Amino acid sequence: MAIPLSVVPDGRRALSADWIRLCGLLLLVLSLGSCDRNSYLRPFGYDRASLLKRYTPQDDESLAIDCVDLLQQGRYEEIEKRLDPSMKNSKTRESLAEMASFFPSKPISTKTVDASVVRSRDSSITSITLQYEFARGWLLAQLVIQTRDGLKTIGGFHVTPIAESVEVMNEFTFADKGISQYAGLVLAIFVSIFALYEFVLCIRTKMGREKWFWAILILIGAGRLTLNWTTGQ
């Protein structure tokens, strides 16, 4: 038989504690679900790939892909013409040849896996990471494209072999994780639950209008600690 809430000693506190536990459980589920970045984008009709394509400058992406194609074909002179003067030295041709040697054959697939743009008044810098899939492995080509007065130059060019695709490397899994990853996860959950508890406590406390200032401050927080789940850094 259910006992009416009114006869439970200190019923308000009991109700508050149950509500906080429920919110804490919900926060835990959301924190784990947020590791899949697509989970928050799907309700808006997007996934990470389509959103990335939408906000990646198409001309910069085309330039990056074109430069990697020239690298695979050994057309180093054409690449050098597009390099920023600060990138050129006596070992430029040697470096390009070394990066070209990482490409074993024609790639099975190519796609942009990361991009960021920093704009200023009269210039912009776009960082693009391309993933190339081969029969036995993957490569990441990272290019930095500088645009000033309508002129685009390559300010950075790196090719890195990787054992797995970016999607697999960045997948949220508990397998093969170290102390730093587990400690970071526990800390994130604890801090989130504690912040939620403090927020509820602040809302329930009678202390005038300044209460809302403290409530907002609790939600925003102070300071930030970031953990790379893949590397543990």
pLDDT tens-digit map of 84-125: 998 889 999 999 999 999 998 889 989 888 888 998 888 899
The verdict on residue 73 lying in a domain is yes
Looking at the structure, tell me whether residues 161 and 177 fall in a common domain.
Answer: no
AA letter at 128:
I
In the beta sheet, which residues pair with residue 99? none
Looking at the structure, tell me whether residues 163 and 75 fall in a common domain.
Answer: yes
| In contact, 128 and 61? CB cutoff 8 Å | yes
Looking at the structure, tell me whether residues 79 and 141 fall in a common domain.
Answer: yes
In the beta sheet, which residues pair with residue 146? 125, 153
pLDDT in tens, 140-158: 999 999 999 889 999 999 9
Radius of gyration of the chain measured on its C-alpha atoms: 25
Looking at the structure, tell me whether residues 159 and 180 fall in a common domain.
Answer: no
Looking at the structure, tell me whether residues 162 and 58 fall in a common domain.
Answer: yes
Would you place residue 183 in the very low, low, confident or very high pLDDT band (cuts 50, 70, 90)?
Answer: confident
Looking at the structure, tell me whether residues 203 and 127 fall in a common domain.
Answer: no
Alpha helices, DSSP H only, in the chain?
11-33, 38-41, 48-55, 58-72, 76-82, 92-100, 166-169, 179-204, 210-220
Does the pLDDT of residue 69 top 90, yes or no? yes
| In contact, 147 and 102? CB cutoff 8 Å | no
The verdict on residue 74 lying in a domain is yes
Q: What is the pLDDT of residue 11?
A: 47
- Domain containing 121 equals 53-169
CA dihedral sign, ordered 162, 166, 171, 177: positive
The verdict on residue 230 lying in a domain is no
Looking at the structure, tell me whether residues 178 and 75 fall in a common domain.
Answer: no
Looking at the structure, tell me whether residues 126 and 139 fall in a common domain.
Answer: yes
Number of domains the chain is built from: 2
| In contact, 47 and 38? CB cutoff 8 Å | yes
The verdict on residue 43 lying in a domain is no
Give the Cβ contact number of residue 171 at 10 Å. Answer: 14
Cα 111–Cα 115–Cα 118 angle in degrees, nearest 5:
155
End-to-end, the C-alpha distance of the chain in Å comes to 53
Looking at the structure, tell me whether residues 69 and 131 fall in a common domain.
Answer: yes
